[in-house]
Structure 1
Amino acid sequence: MTTFDDRERAFETKFARDEEMQFRITARRNRLLGEWAAAQMGLTAAETDAYAKAVVQADFEEAGDEDVVRKLVGDLTAAGVEVDEATVRKALADRTVEARRQLIESQP
């Protein structure tokens, strides 16, 4: 049973590591997305930092990306920026790729 137990532990460790990496990618993506939206709205550097943190926090409201998309579309529209859901989803996809690249490059 030792070999089986070792394999089981290895799979559990890999699963935990993959889940942690996915969480970090999503958090980084949301921060980048918040910075993108802040630039669209013309916010200052301090406002941009605060807004990016708010976008990261918004993702904890419900599972999936709908809460983030809803927040960004609402905030951008309220700020007078003409944007649709498709544009926000495209920005979300682009920032996902960028976040993954940044985290992979930062790995030792």
Structure 2
Amino acid sequence: MLKVFEERERAAEFLFVRAEEMRFAAHCYAVRSLASYAMSKLGVDGQTSEAYARVLIADMIGNMGDDDALLERVQADLSANGVHVSLAELRVEMMRSTARTAGATGLMAAHLARRERNRPASRS
């Protein structure tokens, strides 16, 4: 009986870890999308946009996910290049990207949970 509870606990931990990984990946995708949006305002190529996205993601990780600081940085970077965009506009773009990814992430989490529930119990 104890073995069943241990297996359930491992499954729950696995699902939690997978959900956190997907949440992080979704947030990175939203930051990438924001970087692409910002670089499109400047009219630069995809390679520069990708490099900027990497810098923003590293900054996001360094600031422990502080979205306000990230948005302020993007706004400052755009302003330094003569493009003035409000924080509200950047926030809307970030939320739009997050919403797009959240739907896909939610579907993936549901699929993983279903797969884990349907997996036969191990017999060790």
Specify if TM > 0.5. yes
What is the count of residue pairs matched by the alignment? 107
Q: Give distance in 2, aligned partners of 1:102 and 1:57.
A: 23
2:84 is aligned to 82
- The two structures, once aligned, show a CA RMSD in angstroms of 2.2
1:11 is aligned to 12
1:21 is aligned to 22
Q: Give distance in 2, aligned partners of 1:47 and 1:23.
A: 23
Can you list the C-alpha shifts for 1:29-73, whole angstroms capped at 9, x where unaligned?
A: 111110110001222333222212222222112123123212111
Q: Give distance in 2, aligned partners of 1:50 and 1:106.
A: 28
Gaps of 5+ in 1: none
Distance of aligned partners of 1:105 and 1:47 in 2 relative to their CA distance in 1, 3 Å threshold = farther
Shift of 1:27: 1.1
Shift of 1:103: 5.7
1:63 is aligned to 64
Q: Sequence identity, in percent?
A: 28
Distance of aligned partners of 1:102 and 1:50 in 2 relative to their CA distance in 1, 3 Å threshold = farther
TM-score (normalizing by structure 1)? 0.84
Check whether the contact 2:23–2:105 (CA below 8 A) recurs between aligned residues.
Answer: no
Shift of 1:102: 5.6
Check whether the contact 1:73–1:83 (CA below 8 A) recurs between aligned residues.
Answer: yes
Gaps of 5+ in 2: 110-124
